[in-house]
Amino acid sequence: MDGLTLCVPSSIVREAEDEREATRKLGTVARAAAVFSATRLVVFPDREGERRRGGEFVETVLRYAATPPELRTDLWGRRDELAYVGVLPPLRVPSRTGSPPDGDESSTQGLVTEVGPDGRVRVNSPLGEHPISLLVPDGLSVERGERVTIRISSREPVRARITGKPEDGFQVVGADLPEVLADGGLAIATSRHGEPLSVSRLAELAPRVQEADDPVVAFGAPGRGLPEILGVRPEDVTAAAGGPVEPDPGFDLWLNTIPQQGSKVVRTEEAMFASLASLTLTE
């Protein structure tokens, strides 16, 4: 398994009573991504399910959570969406933010704030108060909100270049779900209407997940699961016995990873821990 991608809807905090609770919930989502070594956390649009706080809030808080603590102030400054980030749990991901600026060159991380049409991006970094414009190296693709590694040759005046993406932690991006599924490997949708995950099925499935190059696991929102979000009838998911459904959004499997669900609603962060604990098992 080269890189695990997790997908959550922009409506993930739809049931949160206030911004503090919404932030706490997103902190648990970020914890799940860190605990299970995800390389990418995708927020896909579900605008019909959003309430007071939508995709922009969700992406901002998750990106902040994924940023190494020592860089958060420099890269993010003060934003209304970050009013309650003090409730975020620590991710404790071993970070390699860079090297100290005591040699000819040093490195740090930056946050892409804008992608231009000429191969350049604007990046927030500890190098100054304003975003700097940097050229993206050949062969590297970056999106708004991603962190990049910056090699610094001079701070006054600023001379720096992008050398790649950080190896530690996970990146948070916003993208349409069909696009993510088309680019990924084995794609799994989690739903109470999917095929119940049994011991025998898991013995067959876990090695398949481990051998997949870029597996994708997607989750719904509280009270609004993936079938409703994607316009798929729940009975069609059940009838498909775990396989593809129509209309086909691009999943290989639909799985019920909590087959003995005792609560009417399983929260997204609960489903993430329950599902990934099974799917990432090794022999």
Write out pLDDT tens, residues 219-231. Answer: 999 889 999 999 9
Phi-psi region of 77 (alpha: psi -120 to 50; beta: other; left: phi over 0): left
Task: Tell me, yes or no, whether 63 lies in a domain.
Answer: yes
Q: Give the span between the Cα atoms of 6 and 32, in whole angstroms.
A: 10
156, 235: one domain: no
The pLDDT assigned to 100 comes to 55
CB 171 within 8 A of CB 64: no
Q: Is residue 99 part of a domain?
A: no
* Within-domain flag for 257: yes
177 & 207 share domain: yes
Whether residues 188 and 253 fall in one domain = yes
pLDDT at residue 254, rounded to an integer = 95
User: The domain that contains 248 carries what CATH number?
Assistant: 3.40.1280.10
The whole-angstrom separation of Cα 46 and Cα 122 is 28
Record the tokens describing residue 21, joined without a space: 């609770």
Shared domain check, 263 and 192: yes
Point out the domain boundary residue: 135, 164, 193.
164
Q: For residues 210 and 266, state if they share a domain.
A: yes
How many Cβ atoms from other residues are within 10 Å of residue 283's Cβ?
6
Per-residue pLDDT of the chain (283 residues; tens, 9 = 90+): 568 999 999 999 999 999 999 999 999 999 999 999 999 999 999 999 998 898 999 999 999 999 999 889 888 888 999 999 999 999 988 766 665 555 457 888 999 999 988 889 999 988 877 889 999 999 999 988 899 999 998 888 888 999 999 888 899 999 999 999 988 789 999 999 999 999 999 999 989 998 898 999 999 998 899 999 999 999 999 988 777 888 788 999 999 999 998 888 889 999 999 999 999 988 7
In whole angstroms, give the CA distance from residue 18 to residue 33.
Answer: 23
Boundary-marking domain end, from 125, 144, 164: 164
Whether residue 58 sits in one domain with residue 75: yes
Residue 117: inside a domain, yes or no?
yes
- Of 164, 180, 214, which residue sits at a domain end? 164
- 78-121 residue pLDDT tens: 899 999 999 999 998 876 666 555 545 788 899 999 998 888 99
The pLDDT of residue 114 is 92
Asked, for residue 101, whether it belongs to a domain, the answer is no
Q: Nearest 5°: CA angle at 225, between 275 and 235?
A: 100
Q: Are residues 35 and 150 in the same domain?
A: no
Residues 273 and 200 occupy one common structural domain: yes
Q: What is the CATH number of the domain that holds 142?
A: 2.40.50.140
- Residue 225, domain member (yes or no): yes
Query: Do 153 and 268 sit in the same domain of this protein?
Result: no
Q: Are residues 17 and 59 in the same domain?
A: yes
Say if 95 falls within a structural domain.
no
Number of domains in the chain: 2
Distances (CA, A) of 130 to 69, 76, 124, 172, 263: 20, 11, 7, 22, 48
Give residue 27's pLDDT.
98
pLDDT at 243: 76
Q: Is residue 96 part of a domain?
A: no
In this structure, are 76 and 181 located in the same domain?
yes
Residue range of the domain that includes 133: 106-164
- pLDDT for res 99: 58
**62 plus 79 within the same structural domain:** yes
